[in-house]
Amino acid sequence: MDISIDSCIAQLRRNTLKVTPRRLAVITMLLAERRYFSPYEVYERLLNTDCSSGLPSVYRILQEFSAIGLVTEIERSDRQQYYFLCKESSGAHHHHFICRICCRVEPIKKCFFDSVKKHIETELDAQVESHIFQLEGICASCRNH
């Protein structure tokens, strides 16, 4: 199920975060493109709008969104933090391929970890409850240009 501005607002309310113009501006900006952003990029994009925020506020807003699961934290090999609002994040468990050139994000619907989970559980006699997996590379359109 694709998420919309309305479902984002509902998610803020469920988590008792006020629907402020600044939070809305960040959500609208993130929803507009299927790519991840650094806090600084979000800050820059909103700079000349009515809803601009200082950089520390943008950091805080993104961390709040991450804490309630509205945005996904993207780790890159440059070790900086990026954020992505996945339009499928209300749907089933999935993973992401991220392009290091254009910052595009592609969902990977198939999860390959069932057998890994079983193997680890047997080997460690532990119970695996979650996993994080993300692929980074060069997307099709960047490869062909």
Residues that bind Zn ion (CB under 5 A): 86, 88, 99, 101-102, 104, 107, 111, 113, 139, 142
Minimum separation from the CB atom of position 16 to Zn ion (A): 25
Q: How far apart are CA 14 and CA 22, in angstroms?
A: 18
Q: How far apart are CA 10 and CA 19, in angstroms?
A: 9
Nearer to Zn ion, 102 or 128 (CB): 102
Q: How far apart are CA 48 and CA 138, in angstroms?
A: 31
Minimum separation from the CB atom of position 20 to Zn ion (A): 25
Nearer to Zn ion, 32 or 101 (CB): 101
Minimum separation from the CB atom of position 41 to Zn ion (A): 15
Cβ count near 89 (within 10 Å): 19
